[in-house]
A and B are shown apart, each in its own frame.
Chain A
């Protein structure tokens, strides 16, 4: 004989699940309220950003993306998903097709190219995977380079002292008179970090800065970068492929590779964008 009526055990379980869902929702809302209360003012605010490389068919759309002041955020995603493109858009190197990018209270899309360069050199420090140091300048001259290439950042009187202090913190103080060709990979990247921070920017954008480093060195360099940035209250956004480094960041955001496929990452990630193709 088969029973046709509702199974009392099943009914109780369903009620239990519903109760748990309600509790979870309440917890979620409560945690959201707490997060909002703790969240610092946004230093990066992206709204309805559209960008495309017509030749390759690559498109990037970010509905909304914010980073709070002093946050250290890792940006991950598959190759060609647009991580570096996003970084370049945020730095004002690329210009979006439409949408809004507000960096440190300035609407970037409203600025002329000259103004964007001036804004970039004074407010944003950039670190690249290939270090991109000038091989014919000494470490000291490389550190001081931002003061020499745009009149928007006047060279302070204590520029050399500031460079020496940075070099000291980055443990390259004894390499100031050397040329990049005489340095190890890790040292080169530390010089690049120093160059990015010499102007005391509000933001530090790093595009896979550990990509060319061996595992031991990359942790070392990352440690330097995040610590110094933290001490100076600099907001960090770093593009990386290396999932082993993500636990060093306060937040990890993943950018999807395919149409609408997005993923949320731990511990406090958020859905970021839609993109297609490769830049």
Chain B
């Protein structure tokens, strides 16, 4: 474990916006192979405290694969990751969460037959007595923390004792997002959080993201929604065929420009190998 400033090669990720705080997450040469498939190739990425960065790209570009590597859902093939100033090689998603990386996965990662508090605290339950795997659950504590988490995000769930299978798509999404808000995260990652939502529910999720911005919490947002990205994020990183092909500040680009990078019509000079 050593300080980020002394361990990485010294170069800033291209177009990094230094108007924000310190670097919270940085990857260098992050690569993931599934057998012969190179899903993620040599990705150098960084995000600073308070910054909201969008990740865009076509389906199969490597966006979700990138998230799975930094959250340790999968073991990376090669590359280095620094989080909050320290080199990290998490042993699993729980370690990543304990370090402060909260993720809303595309699949939501909710257990259908469990209720809201059970899902919010899945894998890190509050306990009354620690007896290893047979530790006694603190239901009251988890319920109170759930209500506080829902209040913080402004999410309204009619009955938190209801199981996830009896909820609408929007409610499920809100539960998944509330899970990130219940714990004091240092970085939030949302993988297509509004992909399956209606207009009103999307607005609610976007409000939650704005709340995070006001609170100065950094966010990585994976989205296909150009309006949303332009509205909510400070920077856009475009992925193509497993590589980063553009790193754009919002005020220096527009929707058409971003689409050109996504489709491969354009590639920034420093990412020429991604073409």
A associates with B: no
